[in-house]
Amino acid sequence: MHSNKLFVTFTATAFIILLNISFAAAQNSSESMHGNMHGNMNENMHHEQMPTLPGQGAFGALAEIIAILEADPNTDWAKVNIGALRAHLVDMNLLIIDTDINSKNIDGGLEITINAKGRALKAVHSMVPAHAPMINGLNGWNAKAETTTSGAKLTVSSSDAKETLHIRALGFYGLMVSGSHHQAHHLGLARGEAVHGE
């Protein structure tokens, strides 16, 4: 009887030890598998080309400006105005997609009448007169603009016959994106600086 109890006790103890060993082995195997999977995922992410385009132009412009501001230790966050930049980007979008353009050839270039309504009209009034001085002198161009009740009038010309062809080929939208002041303008807006009277 005593021998049977010892045998049962020994058998139970051995069984518990075997269970613990099996559990530990299984746990180590699981952790090793998880580690390998995690390592493989990280390795794949390092080797996989990650996307860089934000998927939307205004979103990308905001992200770029914010990255510049955050990298600059002199950024005065009390003055930063991302809302002003966003409003300007909305104006840019409306100027491109929601305006009607009538162009006529003049001596040396183009006279362009820009018509718009509602929010787009405000965009025209804000951007066209501000842009003309920025391109006046660019490539030897003479540029001037004035607002009208329905939009604006932009006149761009040159005494150089080659530049006359250049101006006419660009048309209103090409002329509006000419020059390299846009990016600096966006950064100035975001920093809360007075830019183009805005």
Residue 181 φ/ψ region, left for φ over 0, alpha for ψ in the -120 to 50 degree band, beta for the rest:
alpha
Residue with more model confidence, 159 or 1? 159
CA 186/CA 56 separation, integer angstroms: 17
In this structure, are 77 and 134 located in the same domain?
yes
35 belongs to a structural domain: yes
Boundary-marking domain end, from 24, 50, 76: 50
Residue with more model confidence, 21 or 111? 111
**Radius of gyration, alpha carbons of the chain:** 34
CA 95/CA 103 separation, integer angstroms: 16
In the sheet with 109-115, reading across from the earlier edge strand, the strands are 100-106, 109-115, 151-157, 142-148
Domain count for the chain: 2
In this structure, are 91 and 114 located in the same domain?
yes
Residue with more model confidence, 6 or 68? 68
CA 43/CA 195 separation, integer angstroms: 47
Return the exposure string of 12-41: e unless at least 16 CB atoms fall within 10 Å of the residue's CB, then b: eeeeeeeeeeeeeeeeeeeeeeeeeeeeee
29 belongs to a structural domain: yes
Average confidence score pLDDT of the chain: 82
In this structure, are 44 and 61 located in the same domain?
no
CA 142/CA 70 separation, integer angstroms: 38
195 belongs to a structural domain: no
pLDDT for position 195: 65
In this structure, are 2 and 35 located in the same domain?
yes
In this structure, are 179 and 125 located in the same domain?
yes
Name which of 12-16, 121-125, 181-185 the model is least confident about.
12-16
**Structure tokens belonging to residue 118:** 């509602």
In this structure, are 106 and 147 located in the same domain?
yes
Residue with more model confidence, 49 or 149? 149
pLDDT for position 23: 44
In this structure, are 177 and 99 located in the same domain?
yes
pLDDT for position 183: 82
**Structure tokens belonging to residue 152:** 């604006």
In this structure, are 42 and 67 located in the same domain?
no
In this structure, are 66 and 146 located in the same domain?
yes
Boundary-marking domain end, from 50, 69, 85: 50
CA 97/CA 71 separation, integer angstroms: 33
- Percent of all residues in the chain with a pLDDT value above 90, rounded to a whole number: 63
Question: Per-residue pLDDT tens for 62-83?
Answer: 999 999 999 999 999 999 999 9
| Structural domain boundaries, residue 69 | 57-190
- 139 band by pLDDT with thresholds 50, 70 and 90: very high
Question: Per-residue pLDDT tens for 42-61?
Answer: 555 556 888 887 788 899 99
Residue with more model confidence, 34 or 118? 118
197 belongs to a structural domain: no
